[in-house]
Amino acid sequence: MEAEVAHRRDAKTLNTLAWALSNGDRLQEAQQVIEEIIDQGFQDAEIFYRAGLIEQALSNRAQANYYFQLAQNFDPTFMGIEARFR
């Protein structure tokens, strides 16, 4: 995934990288990647939710809640990634 990101730095590719990094317990790196997406101005409930999950895993409760609220505000019907697979 990191090799792909060297060629493509679009939101979808970066989001996949952030997911992979967070699943590999590379949370600070995942945080940097997700912040890059947000800094690019990309707005999406799934991106905000992933940012919240990363911040939650880093014990940044206030920042996690901020991102979860952004996800909810952006798309009130969004249930979170995990809820979609139950």
CATH number at residue 81: 1.25.40.10
The boundaries of the domain holding residue 53 are: 2-85
Q: How many CB atoms lie within 10 A of CB 17?
A: 22
Q: Which amino acid is located at 38 in the chain?
A: I
pLDDT confidence bin for 82, thresholds 50/70/90: low
pLDDT confidence bin for 3, thresholds 50/70/90: confident
The total number of structural domains in the chain stands at 1
pLDDT confidence bin for 81, thresholds 50/70/90: low
Long-range contacts of 38-41 (CB under 8 A, 24+ apart): 40/11
Residue 9: its pLDDT value, please?
82
pTM: 0.84
pLDDT in tens, 13-71: 999 999 999 999 999 999 999 999 999 999 999 999 999 999 999 999 999 999 999 99
